[in-house]
Amino acid sequence: MNDKKKIVVLEDDRSSARVLTAFLEKKGFEVLSTSEGRFAIELTLREKPDLLIADIMLPDMNGSEMVKQLKKSAAGKDLNVLFLTSLLSKVAKPGEETKLRLDGIEFPALSKPFQPESLFTVVSRLTAGNN
């Protein structure tokens, strides 16, 4: 039986997606990656990951809108989400966890470029179920 925690990464920048995927796989996670929100919805509902790491600015839809859609579904309502976005670079220091509020729900968020130690700490907490 595979006991690796599963993470879906939604990142439209190919080099960022490769770096993030390689880092998480090296830390022992199973990683599924996509660059478009519509595919992330399909992938997340099918694979039921322990965590979704989502960028906000995407080519086909806003990452926060995609998360709202997922949270409305029965399969996605309990999904752990971490936003990883450059939009936070002016309000959060690199490696500093902050919160993004969507429809009254706060989600953990980190600024890009990510700090490996901070990312691993937050991902470990979220995949352990201790949000």
pLDDT, the chain, mean = 88
Q: What is the mean pLDDT of residues 52-56?
A: 94
d(CA 44, CA 39): 8
Poorest-confidence range of 66-70, 83-87, 89-93, 119-123?
Answer: 89-93
| pLDDT number for residue 1 | 47
Per-residue pLDDT of 79-113, as tens digits, reads 999 999 887 666 666 667 888 888 888 999 998 88
Asked whether the predicted pLDDT for residue 20 surpasses 80, the reply is: yes
d(CA 16, CA 1): 30
Interior angle at CA 91, CA 39 and CA 63, nearest 5: 10
Domain regions of the chain by residue span: 6-127
Domain covering 6-127, topology: Rossmann fold (3.40.50)
